[in-house]
C-alpha cells in the first residue's frame, strides 16, 4: 500500500477538518470540493466571502456548499487578538492591543489559531502566501512541538513499492547538531506513524565513519550523539555516505556492524543545499516521485504549499497531512 493510500484509508475511517488560510483561490475551492465529494474532509476556507464566491464560480464547483470564515470579521479579530496577546504574555512579551489586531487580521493568523484551538485538525496554506510567511504564522500562533525547537520539512520519496524519506529539503540552510537531531527524531516519528514500520535513519555526509575529517563531519557526529541520548532505541547511524546507507555490499566494507547502513529508509541531509539538490536528482534522474514538502516541528499540523501548486497537490497534501497527524489512529 502506498503512502497516499495509507493516509487515504485513515481519512476514510474518520473525516477530518482542514482549514485553508489562502481560501480565495479556485485551486483550493476545487480541492475542497473533491474532498467533500469523497467524504474525506470538512474544509474551512479563510477569506473574504465575496472573493471565495468568485473563486467558486471560476472553478465551476457551484454545486458545493463551503464553510467560509472572514479573517476580518470584527468579533473574530477581537477574539484572536486577545488570544495572541495571551500567547505572547506566556512568552514574557507584552503586546499592545493595536499590534495584536494587526498581527491577527489576516488569513494565515486566523487559520493557524483555529488549528491551535482544535477547531481544525490541520492547516494548509502557501498557495498564495510565501513559505516564510506560512512558517512565521505557524511559529507565532501555534508554536513548536514539545521537546523540539525546530521547524523543518521532509519529502516522501516513492518509486514502485519503495518508500523512503528525505529531510530537510526546504527550510533550514545550515542546521546545527541540535537541529539535525530534532529533524531526525521528528522525521523518524512520521515514518513510523505513516508506514507502521521501524525507521532506519542515516545521517548523511561526504564521510563514512571517520573516512574524512572536517568540521561539517564533526557536526553530523555531534548530532548522532544527541539523538542517541534523547532516543536510545532509535535505529540511527552516521556519519554515512549515501552508498554506505543504501547498498549492503558497500555498507559491509565502509560501516560493518552498523544497524542502519545498507538498509536506511530515512535520510537526513547535513544542509539544505544537499537535501534540496538530492531530492531533485532522485526525482529528475532517478524517476522517484517526491511527495511534499511537508512541514514538521509545529505543535499541531501546519503545512505549506508551493504557489505554483495544482488543485491535485492541495488535495494530496491535505490527505497526507491528516494521515501523518493521526499516526496509528483511525
In a domain, 101, yes or no: no
Distance CA 108, CA 230 (A): 33
pLDDT at res. 328: 47
DSSP single-letter state for residue 210: T
Burial of 91 (0-12, 13-18, 19+ CB in 10 A): exposed
In a domain, 243, yes or no: yes
198 has pLDDT over 90: yes
How confident is residue 148, by pLDDT bands cut at 50, 70 and 90? confident
Q: Same domain, yes or no, for 138 and 157? A: no
Q: Same domain, yes or no, for 33 and 129? A: yes
Scanning the structure block, which residue is given the C-alpha cell 503512502? 3
Q: What average pLDDT does this structure show over 97-114?
A: 98
Q: What average pLDDT does this structure show over 173-191?
A: 96
pLDDT at res. 325: 83
Scanning the structure block, which residue is given the C-alpha cell 463551503? 66
For residue 157, the domain's CATH number is 3.40.50.10750
In total, the chain counts a number of residues equal to 330
pLDDT in tens, 206-245: 999 999 999 999 999 999 999 999 999 999 999 999 999 9
How confident is residue 327, by pLDDT bands cut at 50, 70 and 90? low
- Cα torsion 147, 269, 136, 22 to 10°: value is -120
Burial of 313 (0-12, 13-18, 19+ CB in 10 A): middle
Q: Same domain, yes or no, for 181 and 237? A: yes
- Cα torsion 296, 301, 44, 137 to 10°: value is -60
Determine which helix (DSSP H) or strand (DSSP E) holds 190, and give its type and residue range.
helix 177-195
Non-local CB neighbours of 284 within 8 Å, separated by 6+ positions: none
In a domain, 61, yes or no: yes
Give the pairing of strands 235-240 and 152-159. unpaired
86 has pLDDT over 70: yes
In a domain, 97, yes or no: no
How many other C-beta atoms lie within 10 A of the C-beta of residue 62? 10
How confident is residue 135, by pLDDT bands cut at 50, 70 and 90? very high
In a domain, 18, yes or no: yes
pLDDT at res. 205: 97
Q: What average pLDDT does this structure show over 69-90?
A: 97
- For 272, the grid coordinates are 539544505
Determine which helix (DSSP H) or strand (DSSP E) holds 53, and give its type and residue range.
helix 49-59
167 has pLDDT over 50: yes
Determine which helix (DSSP H) or strand (DSSP E) holds 275, and give its type and residue range.
helix 272-284
In a domain, 22, yes or no: yes
DSSP single-letter state for residue 146: T
Q: Same domain, yes or no, for 26 and 67? A: yes
CA R_g for the chain: 21
Q: Same domain, yes or no, for 209 and 253? A: yes
Buried b (16+ CB within 10 A) or exposed e, 63-89: eeebebbbbeeeebbeebbebbbebbe
Q: Same domain, yes or no, for 160 and 228? A: yes
Non-local CB neighbours of 179 within 8 Å, separated by 6+ positions: 149, 150, 152, 172
Averaged pLDDT score across all residues of the chain: 94
326 has pLDDT over 90: no
pLDDT at res. 329: 40
pLDDT in tens, 262-321: 999 999 999 999 999 999 999 999 999 998 889 999 999 999 998 889 999 999 999 999
Q: Same domain, yes or no, for 303 and 282? A: no
> How many CA atoms are closer than 13 Å to the CA of 255, on its beta-carbon side?
30
Instruction: Name the residue among 166, 106, 114 with its Cα closest to residue 130.
Output: 106
Domain count within the chain: 2
In a domain, 84, yes or no: no
Q: What average pLDDT does this structure show over 120-140?
A: 96
112 has pLDDT over 90: yes
Q: Same domain, yes or no, for 40 and 111? A: yes
Distance CA 191, CA 189 (A): 5
Q: Same domain, yes or no, for 186 and 310? A: no
Q: Same domain, yes or no, for 309 and 258? A: no
330 has pLDDT over 50: no
Distance CA 201, CA 159 (A): 19
Percent of the chain with pLDDT over 90: 90
pLDDT at res. 147: 84
| Mean pLDDT lowest among 89-93, 111-115, 147-151 | 147-151
Q: Same domain, yes or no, for 286 and 262? A: yes
How confident is residue 138, by pLDDT bands cut at 50, 70 and 90? very high
Scanning the structure block, which residue is given the C-alpha cell 531526525? 184
For residue 31, the domain's CATH number is 3.40.50.10950
Q: Same domain, yes or no, for 214 and 130? A: no
| Segments forming the whole domain that contains residue 36 | 3-71+106-143+298-326
**Rounded to 5 degrees, what are φ and ψ at 94?**
-95, 130
In a domain, 79, yes or no: no
Amino acid at each position: 500500500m502506498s503512502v497516499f493510500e495509507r493516509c487515504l484509508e485513515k481519512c476514510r475511517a474518520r473525516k477530518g477538518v482542514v482549514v485553508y488560510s489562502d481560501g480565495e483561490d479556485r485551486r483550493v475551492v476545487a480541492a475542497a470540493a473533491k474532498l467533500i465529494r469523497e467524504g474525506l474532509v470538512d474544509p474551512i476556507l479563510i477569506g473574504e466571502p465575496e472573493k471565495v464566491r468568485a473563486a467558486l464560480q471560476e472553478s465551476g464547483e457551484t454545486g458545493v456548499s463551503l464553510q467560509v470564515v472572514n479573517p476580518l470579521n470584527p468579533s473574530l479579530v477581537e477574539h484572536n487578538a486577545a488570544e495572541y496577546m495571551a500567547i505572547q504574555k506566556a512568552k514574557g512579551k507584552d503586546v499592545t492591543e493595536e499590534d495584536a489586531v494587526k498581527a491577527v487580521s489576516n488569513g494565515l493568523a486566523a487559520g493557524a489559531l483555529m488549528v491551535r484551538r482544535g477547531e481544525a485538525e490541520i492547516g494548509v496554506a502557501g498557495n498564495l502566501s510565501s513559505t516564510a510567511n506560512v512558517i512565521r504564522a505557524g511559529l507565532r500562533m501555534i508554536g513548536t512541538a514539545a521537546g523540539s525547537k525546530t521547524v523543518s520539512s521532509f519529502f516522501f520519496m516513492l518509486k514502485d513499492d519503495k518508500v523512503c524519506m528525505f529531510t530537510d529539503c526546504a527550510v533550514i540552510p545550515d542546521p546545527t547538531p541540535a537541529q539535525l537531531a530534532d529533524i531526525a527524531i521528528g522525521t523518524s516519528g512520521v515514518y513510523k506513524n505513516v508506514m507502521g514500520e521501524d525507521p532506519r535513519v542515516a545521517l548523511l555526509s561526504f564521510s563514512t565513519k571517520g573516512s574524512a575529517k572536517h568540521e561539517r563531519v564533526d557536526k553530523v557526529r555531534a548530532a548522532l550523539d544527541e539523538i542517541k541520548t534523547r532516543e536510545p532505541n532509535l535505529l540511527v547511524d552516521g556519519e554515512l555516505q549515501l552508498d554506505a546507507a543504501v547498498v549492503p555490499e558497500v555498507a559491509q566494507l565502509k560501516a560493518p556492524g552498523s544497524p542502519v547502513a545498507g538498509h536506511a529508509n530515512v535520510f537526513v541531509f547535513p544542509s539544505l543545499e544537499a537535501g534540496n539538490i538530492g531530492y531533485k536528482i532522485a526525482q529528475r534522474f532517478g524517476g522517484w516521485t517526491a511527495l511534499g514538502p511537508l512541514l514538521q516541528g509545529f505543535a499541531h499540523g501546519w503545512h505549506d504549499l508551493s504557489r505554483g501548486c495544482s488543485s491535485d497537490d492541495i488535495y494530496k497534501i491535505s490527505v497526507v497531512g491528516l494521515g501523518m497527524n493521526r499516526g496509528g489512529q483511525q
